[in-house]
Amino acid sequence: MKRLLLVPVVLAVFTVSVLGAYNIAFIVKATDSEFWQYTIVGAKNAERDLQGLIKVTVYGPPSEADIDKQVAILEDVIRTKPDAIVIASTSSHATAPALNKAYQQGIKIILIDNFVHDTGYHSFLATNNRLGGALAAEKIVELLKKAGKPLKGKVGLISSMAGVQVLIDRDEGFKTRLKELAPDLEILPTRYVDNDIAKAAAAMEDLVTAYGDQLVAVFADNNHTGDGVARVIEERKLHDKIIAVAYDSDPQEVEALRNGSLKALIVQDPHGMGYKGVMFAFMAIHGEPLPQYFDTGVYVVTKENMDELKWVLDPYLRKRY
The string of pLDDT tens digits covering residues 231-242 is: 999 999 999 999
| Residue 122 Cα distances to 91, 98, 107, 110, 296, angstroms | 18, 15, 10, 6, 16
Decide if 239 contacts 208 (C-beta within 8 A): no
List phi, psi (to 5°) of 314: -130, 85
Tell me which residue of 276, 170, 272 sits closest to 223, measured CA to CA: 170
Rg of the chain in Å (alpha carbons): 21
**Three state DSSP letters for 40-100:** HHHHHHHHHHCCCCEEEEEECCCCCCCHHHHHHHHHHHHHCCCCEEEECCCCCCCCHHHHH
Q: Is the pLDDT of residue 10 over 70?
A: no
Distance CA 67, CA 98 (A): 13
The pLDDT value given to residue 7: 41
What average pLDDT is seen over the chain? 93
> pLDDT digit string (tens) for 96-146?
999 999 999 999 999 999 999 999 999 999 999 999 999 999 999 999 999
Determine the straight-line distance between the first and last CA of the chain, rounded to whole angstroms. Answer: 23
Return the number of other C-beta atoms located less than 10 Å from residue 153's C-beta: 18
Distance CA 70, CA 32 (A): 13
Tell me which residue of 272, 308, 293 sits closest to 46, measured CA to CA: 272
Q: Is the pLDDT of residue 9 over 60?
A: no
Could you give the angle at which helices 223-236 and 197-211 cross, rounded to 10 degrees?
50
The pLDDT value given to residue 309: 94
Give me the domains of the chain, ranges plus CATH numbers.
3-127+269-297 (3.40.50.2300), 129-267 (3.40.50.2300)
What number of H helices and E strands is found in the chain? 11, 13
The pLDDT value given to residue 19: 56
Return the number of other C-beta atoms located less than 10 Å from residue 160's C-beta: 29
Spatial strand order in the sheet of 84-87: 54-59, 22-27, 84-87, 108-112, 123-126, 293-295
Distance CA 38, CA 32 (A): 11
* Segment 203-210 mean pLDDT: 98
81: left (phi over 0), alpha (psi -120 to 50) or beta: left
Q: Is the pLDDT of residue 17 over 60?
A: no
pLDDT band at 321 (very low <50, low <70, confident <90, very high): confident
Q: Is the pLDDT of residue 8 over 80?
A: no
Cβ neighbours of residue 44 under 8 Å, at least 6 residues apart? 56, 274, 319, 321
List phi, psi (to 5°) of 105: -80, -5
Tell me which residue of 142, 151, 215 sits closest to 179, measured CA to CA: 151
The alpha carbon dihedral of 75, 80, 81, 85 has a sign of negative
Q: Is the pLDDT of residue 15 over 60?
A: no
